[in-house]
Amino acid sequence: MKQNNYLRTGLFLTGVLAVLICLGFFWTPYSPTAMNGSEKFLGPSLRHLMGTDNFGRDIFSRVLKGAGTTAGIAFCTVAIGAVCGTAVGALTGYFGGIVDEALMRFNDVMTAFPSILLALVFISVLGPGSKYNVILALGVVFIPSFARVTRTAFASLRDVNYVKSVRLMGAGKARILLVHMLPNTAQILLPAITIGFNNAVLAEASMSYLGIGVTPPDASLGYMLSEAQGMFSAAPWYALGTGFTIVLLVFSVGLIGEGLQRRGKEVA
């Protein structure tokens, strides 16, 4: 049962983070935007777990709020990517033919661009400075990878015996796809979702870092990291605290993905 340790540790760490993030929505030690001129650039202490920034704002409170924003954006992004991607993958994988060719070649074109670059293009069209636009841009960019993964799964299941049987029994196409085939792609889809989530966290972080994600004074981990860069020698704890949170978030969700994949192999 060694492989389940990945899953267990991942679930535990993610759980702790999720609780902290949920807590951040309702309560933070200080208001994440409240400024205090007499407490600028304080190092980590019991009063301020991660110290304070150039406005005297509590970094721990900002990290809680920022992690919430980042995780929220990542979650919505993956939701868009997974739902649309699975739909495209299911249709092309099951029916094949000309539609399959056309959609998958289009997919290839999309994947040929670096995802951040593509998201930047979308943002410049949609207009920067809104988190909904960030979600939309990243979501669209994430569709191709999900489509590719699910297409393979659906294509391989298409001629499996139980699918043939329900087809002979006269089940409708929607029923075959949703009820009979979809649940059996879960072991491929779930790890893909966790990896996608991680990529989305990193993508949001890099986009906000480049100054096109959330707008000040809102916090997101990437935006905070870009703020931290300018004051690295005055407040190194700002960059470290924020960076460590991103690493932890990505690492713990990554463990879940790894655990799921292993369990999948074992079952198979």
Which parts of this chain interact with other proteins (CB under 8 A)? 3, 33-35, 37, 40-41, 54-56, 116, 128-129, 198, 202, 205-206, 209, 211, 215-217, 222, 225, 229-231, 233-234, 243, 246-247, 250-251, 254-255, 258, 261-262
Tell me how far, at minimum, the Cβ of 266 lies from other proteins, in Å.
12
Write out the two tokens for 194.
């966790």
Tell me how far, at minimum, the Cβ of 229 lies from other proteins, in Å.
7
Nearest one of 36, 7, 52 to 234, comparing CA atoms:
52
Q: Where are the alpha helices (DSSP H) in the chain?
A: 3-26, 59-95, 97-112, 115-126, 131-157, 161-168, 173-175, 186-209, 221-229, 236-267
Tell me how far, at minimum, the Cβ of 76 lies from other proteins, in Å.
20
Nearest one of 253, 252, 234 to 40, comparing CA atoms:
234
Residue 230 burial (CB count, 10 A): 12
Q: DSSP class of residue 55?
A: T
Write out the two tokens for 71.
């995780």
Tell me how far, at minimum, the Cβ of 118 lies from other proteins, in Å.
15
Query: In this complex, which beta carbon is closest to other proteins, that of residue 8 or of residue 180?
Result: 8
Query: In this complex, which beta carbon is closest to other proteins, that of residue 144 or of residue 204?
Result: 204
Query: In this complex, which beta carbon is closest to other proteins, that of residue 155 or of residue 210?
Result: 210
Query: In this complex, which beta carbon is closest to other proteins, that of residue 9 or of residue 111?
Result: 9
Tell me how far, at minimum, the Cβ of 107 lies from other proteins, in Å.
22
Q: What dihedral do alpha carbons 235, 239, 245, 247 form, nearest 10°?
A: -150
Query: In this complex, which beta carbon is closest to other proteins, that of residue 41 or of residue 122?
Result: 41
